[in-house]
Structure 1
Amino acid sequence: MAQFTLYSHAQGPNGWTVAFLLKALGLTYETKYLDFGANEQKSEAFLKINPNGRIPALVDHQNNDFTVFESKACLVYLQLKYDTENRFGAGATAEQQAEQAQWLYFQASGQGAYFGQAAHFKFFAPEKIPYAINRYEQEVARVLGVLERVLSGREFLVGGKVTIADLSFITWDNFGLNMLLPEGINAEEKFPSVAAWHKKLTSLPYVAEALQEREEVVAAQKK
């Protein structure tokens, strides 16, 4: 039996963030991909696991089936409990923890929220609303600008190494840098430090493995 069960969605970005760290730490897991078309994420069975009815959720079978939802909470749990060498944590001091937390919160409330709305209004909304599309495209550019300002002076967000803070941005940056910016903005020219950071992160073996797995799962589901 795998050590963890990860409830996710093949095309959704947030579950794969957790998969990055599971792979990096060598933890075994089984992924259950929920069928959003069948509303499985709102089923009574899944709501017992995640009352918010969204993915991801993580069940730790070697810790009395301890369950945690929200991708950033999953990352924090895995790093604190299983990253015994602190490979992916910023450090133990209050200052180090706060610096890491600020980026995790910024990802959740800034990048994830605004990039998600940009994707919705650009690609999925039944009605094209120019105001909404423009608003969220501009927010994508603003968030990338915040990252650019910081990463132009450092290699990674916290502590001079890859941490869960960096890993938390990868999947939404895949969309943001390629599809969600306002028309006419070249991501590599406008945000060169972010683009270089993102390329470096996606080249990490455990990240590349998960992203390849994502492509295979999506392709299989489309057959």
Structure 2
Amino acid sequence: MAQPIKLYVHVFGPNPWKVAIILEELGVRYDTISMDYADLKKEPFESLNPNCRVPAIEDPNTGIVLFESGAIVEYLVEIWLHFQMSGQGPYFGQSIHFQRFHPNNHEPIQLPTAIERYKNEGKRVVGVIDKHLKKHGTGYVVGDKLTYADLAFVPWNVLLSDVMGEDFDPKVEAPDFAAWHDNMAERPSVKRAYKKKQTLVDDFMKSEKSI
């Protein structure tokens, strides 16, 4: 289970409670640390926030310290979204590229070292998510409710067998990851989106055959 985030507040200041509301909505555990105005311009708080204002947070799970309510709210929701964009998407995409489309999809040339590298990176990404889900214990990457951070992983996770190959079984090697993805894939919104996608794929394949 993740350790609670430390949220520094002042009892009458409105901005810290913006963060508290988001934490409550997400179901993220946190401890409130009420500060006197006089202590905001002293150590140790000044090292947390050189601007000497609340809110500020310390996340013991990541070592991240942040101030400014907008930055904190963005961090709480988007840290996993950024991981999807900088980790999962690029590594999964490169794995598929070097297996199927390098230098083009008509005459692909196998580069074993590149394929191995990106398969390993894909496996590492899956492992990071699996470990986090296991430790977090809620079935979601942020808090105890679905956020768009969870859903952003779906389109590449759907292609996992293409990324890793058929010999990689996520239910065995990353069971929490596999359960999380299966839960996302069963959501009505995901099914509706992929139904539309399949219609477009079918239309495209028909047009290709007619050429």
Give the TM-score taking structure 1 as reference length.
Answer: 0.56
Cα distance in 2 for partners of 1:159, 1:95 equals 14
Cα deviation code 1:143-188 (max 9, x no counterpart): 0000000111221011211111001100000112x22115632111
Aligned residues: 135
1:16-63 residue CA offsets vs partner (Å, 9 max, x unmatched): xxxxxxxxxxxxxxxxxxxxxxxxxxxxxxxxxxxxxxxxxxxxxxxx
Which structure 2 segments of 5+ residues have no match? 1-21, 28-68, 103-107, 207-211
Structure with higher RCO (Cα < 8 A, 6+ apart): 1
Q: Name the SS for the 2:159 alignment partner.
A: helix
Residues 69-106 of structure 1 show CA distances to partners (whole Å, capped at 9, x for unaligned) of xxxxxxxxxxxxxxxxx9xx959775443132211111
Which sections of structure 1, spanning at least 5 residues, go unmatched?
Answer: 1-85
Match of 1:217 among 189, 192, 200: 200
Matches of residues 25-44 of structure 1 in structure 2 within 5 Å?
A: none
Q: In the alignment, which of 154, 167, 182 is matched to residue 184 of structure 1?
A: 167
User: Contact 2:93/2:163 (CA < 8 Å) preserved in 1?
Assistant: no
Superposed CA offset, 1:111-136 (max 9, x none): 00100100100111131100000000
Distance in 1 separating the partners of 2:70 and 2:177 = 27
1:155 counterpart SS class: coil
The question of 1:98 aligning with 2:81 is answered no
Counterpart Cα distance in 2 of 1:93 and 1:200: 30
Q: For 1:182 and 1:219, how far apart are their aligned partners in 2?
A: 24
Partner of 1:109: 86
Aligned to 2:116: 134
Larger Rg computed on CA atoms:
2
Give, in whole Å, the separation in 1 of the partners of 2:195 and 2:178: 19
RMSD over aligned CA atoms reads 2.1
Task: Tell me the percent identity.
Answer: 37
What stretches of structure 1 move > 6 A for 4+ residues in a row? Answer: none
